Amino acid sequence: MRLFIASGFSQQLTERVKELQAFAAPRFGKAVKWVEPENLHLTYVFLGEVPEAMAPAAARGVERAAGLFQRLPVRLNGLGAFPALDKPRVLWLGLAEERPGTLKELALKLSEALAAEGFMFEFKFEPHLTIGRVKTRLAPALTGELGRKAAGLEAQSVIGSVEVIESRLTGSAPRYSTLYSGRLR
């Protein structure tokens, strides 16, 4: 099983992202593969390929960590890219928090709980929402235009749960299935 730990977003936030993608799609053409709205999420930990028998351990780790946190209000906070905006491979939107640092703290507690359950993974967390994967080099004017549009996006969401998600790779887009959902207080 290919597993990751993530949270979803409100319909309002998803709609704003869809609007941004609709604005960008004709400008970028086939240079960017946009993330399907139903697949938008905030990844805390990517576990990768694990034996199916480990899924309950992932659920225990999520349950232990999620229960330590209150619901977390977030809002969109501008465009970013990995590795950088001048040479993007992944386009993303940042997330601003009502209580700065809480998402990183949640991600750290999740990673600690999952490690205690026997999972091994690389832990690198930056609160963001991936919106597209770049397939060819982009003109700086395009990323600048997208950045200006993203800066004007106003959308909020509340992180109320953390999910264990199975990712199945298909030809056109991954298909995600929630295996477990741990509620925040």
**pLDDT 10s digits, 1-29:** 999 999 999 999 999 999 999 999 999 99
Q: What is the extent of the structural domain holding 146?
A: 2-183
Catalytic machinery residues: 41, 128
pTM equals 0.95
User: pLDDT value at position 16?
Assistant: 97
Q: Give the pLDDT mean for 54-59.
A: 98
Rounded to whole angstroms, the Cα distance separating 136 from 89 reads: 8
Specify the number of domains making up the chain. 1
CA gap 38, 67 in Å, rounded: 25
Q: Measured between alpha carbons, how far is 163 from 113 in angstroms, rounded to an integer?
A: 14
Strands laid side by side in the 32-34 sheet = 32-34, 128-134, 90-97, 72-82, 156-159
CATH of the domain at 153: 3.90.1140.10
